[in-house]
Chains A and B, each alone.
Chain A
Amino acid sequence: MSEAMDFKVIGTRPIRPDGVDKVTGRASFGADFSLPGMLEGAVLRSPHAHARIKSIKTDAALAASGVKAVVTGADFPQVAAGAIEGGEGGGDFADLAGNVIARGKVRYHGHAVAAVAAQSRAQALAALALIEVEYETLPAVLSLDAALAESAPLIDEGLMTSGLAEPATAPSNLASVIEMGNGDLDAGFADAALIVERRYQTPTVHQGYIEPHACVGRWGQDDQAMLWCCTQGAFDVRSMTAKVLGQPVGSLKVIPSEIGGGFGGKTTVYLEPLALLLSKKSGRPVRMVMTREEVFRATGPASAATIDLRMGFSQDGKITAAEATMAYEAGAFPGSPVGPGTMCVFAPYRIANFRIKGMDVLVNKPKAAAYRAPGAPQALFATESAMDEAADKLGIDPIELRLRNAVEEGDSAIYGPKFGPIGLRACLEAAAAHPHYTKAKDAGVGRGVAVGFWFNVGLQSSAEVHINEDGTVTVIEGNPDIGGSRASMALMAAETLGVPYESVRVVVADTETAGFTNVTGGSRVTFATGMAVVEASKDIIAQCCSRAASLWSTDEDMVEWRDGAVHPRPGVNVEAKPLSLKDLAGKAGRTGGPLLGKASLNARGAGPGFSVNLCDALVDQETGQVQVKAFTAIQDAGKAIHPSYVEGQLQGGAVQGIGWALNEEYVYSPEGVMENAGFLDYRIPVASDLPMIDTQIIEVPNPGHPYGVRGVGETPIVAPLAAVANAVSASAGVRMTELPLSPPRVLEALDQA
């Protein structure tokens, strides 16, 4: 692959194949599916943040009108500990099962305790009220400080901290510790002309997808089961649900619906095992749909974090040493993304002397779920705030300061391996030259700069390419299309096969139709599944060459694929017209049967993604309200297959990050009840809060992908937190270190300025 590639369709902006269905309301999402005889399920959730379950009585509920089945934790098998595969690091099946339905103890307000299936939702809800649960309430642990306190109540009495040099001798709420380091920290700080040292805090936030979780489960008397659901990964739902229910993977078929947003939050299961067990007990299909309140109380969230950061700088702005102590809330079960957080925190920079400590801490909140670049936004909020403060104090332009420390190809990342070609420097240079950065600021406006980073992942993907008898193309793959990926797959297939984009249809298939494919997540779909589609298309090309050679009675190495057709190689003495895909499709029956290409792979070479964001913000000095006046997202995409959807990723991630920075947070009562479990008071940005989000796509091709693609889905949410905070700090004239930058907090800071 090279930069000089001459693309025919890649890089164009055609209409997505599923577009008309989605603008006309025809597309079928999670709650849109139904089956004859279907029951409606509902979940009884814990009214306490932390309590022992002493008894559960379900007789009255089971006897209620219309009720066909009731399940509790006692109906589920005990699931042994074991790592969940598929790239969702830190997960354990036993914890997953414990989160799906409580056994013995409830660990957060909203934790599922029982579920009911009835003929109507009203009947199911009425029956929930008849389930008698006797609780012994326990004190709720709601903050990192409270969780790590000497005599903190234990959320998991058996939890021994892992990752310590000396094995833990007593249980605690500290699930694990990770440490990284290099060089001589003391010497590095001794060399510093400036040391920035602060504590940075970020709140618990939710992914905020608009479509609540929903599924329909149907269990047969032969123990074969089917699930229709909205998910980022049907195969992951299959393996997780099978494990929670103690069933063989092959007995479960998962059919993904269209998905109304996920952002990482739909990479796990909540309702699916409940629906299937209710179906097994009732002998009827069962539909379960969460309310928005349930989505807030029982799914997501992203970890709150406290990061103590110390960075040393020489007079000319070189980082001499850096130290971070990072505590992330895991929620009620281990598994916050503090691991990747520790790897991201200083990833954009060359730092010889550093120490990083990460802590995964249990609190009585919902089990943290992945949210776009899990762990990175919190980490880089801290670092990029400190970089901004350093630039200010050293009198160095903030982009220049970053350029002086930026990692480049060949540098070892602080977490070890060497970087290949990366776009950090190109993004920084583009930012410095961007009109947003060069134009004068309006009165009172603060301007913030921040860098974003995410690893991007590869993982397993499969694809099939079917050539129809008229030469049109059907691509079969297994990644739910969460943001236009069918269009990207069709573009890559069309490019490889040399056919028009419009002749390619892309099918997102179920777990019995598509080959195994990991989640739509980790910024991997266009990269890894795209690679599988390209490979499967190349498989078709090889078959076409072979068949053309047979037709021409020559050897395969006498022919070549060029411009969408098989040609005799130059100089080969064959009298023949080139054979196009369409020609060969028509002759398929006579040349060996249908043309079917396939590929399955474990993708390598996911190039890391870097970004730079610029934000102009104006603080109302009397009320503390922040207005984002301008925002620019610049990011290295490797190669933008469909630039509009790449821009869309940048814009959407920017706005989620703006929300995280400004107004989003879980508000808890002292008893551990979330007080703002709805879109009215959990304030995601609305259209009138925002300016247009300007974008600039940088293309430093990724050598690990045939067309140079690197993932773009997650990096966009990383930089906005600090970009906004730096702009607000500049406008307010006071350094803001705790998110969200809600009006009361900003006003309080203004008072102290």
Chain B
Amino acid sequence: MAKVHVPFDLRHLAEGAAVLEVRGTCYRSLMAALRDRYPVLEAALVRDKAFVLDGEILDSPLLEAVAPASEIHFLPRIGGG
């Protein structure tokens, strides 16, 4: 199962968990699994954070494949100058 690192400021939406083990083979199935367990968290992540898969910030992760060993972070969005 992929490791989802819950952002510090959203851990209250995941019963305080810092890391969740989530099943999913792609972005969509992973987020669906997350939504089943923590719907408010999932909504907040989609709304406010960028999806980071194995260190790569992905602005359009829709079709992204997720491996069982993948590490997923959610970060504040970055603007560029």
Q: Which residues of A contact B (CB under 8 A)?
A: 85, 87-91, 162-163, 165, 176-182, 207, 262-265, 267, 337, 339-340, 342-343, 358, 370-375, 415-420, 455, 457-459, 519, 521-524, 602, 604-605, 713-714
Contact = CB atoms under 8 A, between A and B. Distances in A.
Given A416-B73, A417-B73, A459-B59, A162 B48 contact: yes
A590 B48 CA distance: 54
Contacts of B78: 87, 89, 339-340, 343, 374, 455, 457, 522
A207 B81 CA distance: 10
Contacts of B12: 165
Contact of B81 (A165, A342, A372, A419): A372
B50 interface: yes
Contacts of A265: 81
B21 interface: no
Nearest to B60: A602
Given A263-B81, A374-B81, A417 B76 contact: no
Given A416-B52, A602-B60, 15 more contacts: A89-B50, A89-B78, A162-B48, A165-B12, A178-B9, A180-B8, A180-B9, A267-B79, A372-B81, A416-B73, A417-B54, A455-B78, A457-B78, A458-B57, A714-B80
B80 A374 contact: yes
A619 to B, nearest CB: 30
A457 B56 CA distance: 10
A522 B9 CA distance: 26
Nearest to B55: A417
Nearest to A704: B56
Contacts of B75: 339, 343, 415-416
A88 B79 contact: yes
A530 B21 CA distance: 37
Nearest to A165: B12
15 contacts: A87-B78, A87-B79, A89-B77, A177-B9, A178-B9, A179-B9, A264-B80, A343-B76, A371-B81, A415-B75, A416-B75, A459-B59, A521-B80, A605-B56, A714-B80
B81 A85 contact: no
Given A416-B52, A417-B54, A521 B81 contact: yes
B45 to A, nearest CB: 12
B69 to A, nearest CB: 13
B5 interface: yes
Nearest to B56: A604
Contact of B80 (A88, A162, A342): A88
A179 B49 CA distance: 12
A604 B50 CA distance: 14
Contacts, number: 105
Interface residues of B, number: 24
A267 B55 contact: no
A319 to B, nearest CB: 18
Interface string B40-77: 00000000101010111111100000000001010111
A172 to B, nearest CB: 17
Given A162-B48, A418-B55, A178 B76 contact: yes
Contact of B79 (A89, A178, A416): A89
- Nearest first, the 7 A-B pairs at minimum CB distance are A522-B80, A264-B81, A89-B77, A339-B76, A416-B73, A417-B55, A179-B9
A89 B81 contact: no
A522 B81 contact: yes
Contacts of A88: 79-80
A457 B78 CA distance: 8
Contacts of A714: 80-81
B43 to A, nearest CB: 12
B52 to A, nearest CB: 5
Interface in B1-36: 5, 7-9, 12
Contact of A182 (B8, B59, B71, B76): B8
A418 B56 CA distance: 9
B5 A342 contact: no
B80 A519 contact: yes
Contact of B71 (A417, A457, A522): A417
Contacts of A264: 79-81
A190 to B, nearest CB: 21
Nearest to A177: B9
A340 B81 CA distance: 12
B79 A163 contact: no
Nearest to B71: A417
Nearest to A162: B48
Nearest to B5: A416
Contacts of B5: 416
A458 B50 CA distance: 13
Given A162-B48, A416-B75, A417-B55, A457 B80 contact: yes
A181 B11 CA distance: 11
A342 B76 contact: yes
Contacts of B77: 89-90, 339
A458 B53 CA distance: 14
Contacts of A457: 57, 78, 80
Contacts of A165: 9, 12
Nearest to B81: A264
A178 B9 CA distance: 6
Nearest to A89: B77
B8 A87 contact: no
Nearest to B9: A179
Contacts of A262: 81
B54 to A, nearest CB: 7
Contacts of A339: 75-78
A264 B78 CA distance: 13
A415 B49 CA distance: 12
A523 B81 CA distance: 8
Contacts of A207: 81
A458 B7 CA distance: 23
A342 B5 CA distance: 17
Given A343-B76, A415-B75, A373 B8 contact: no
A90 B59 contact: no
A418 B9 CA distance: 20
Nearest to B18: A182
A291 B47 CA distance: 38
Contacts of A372: 81
Contacts of B52: 416-417
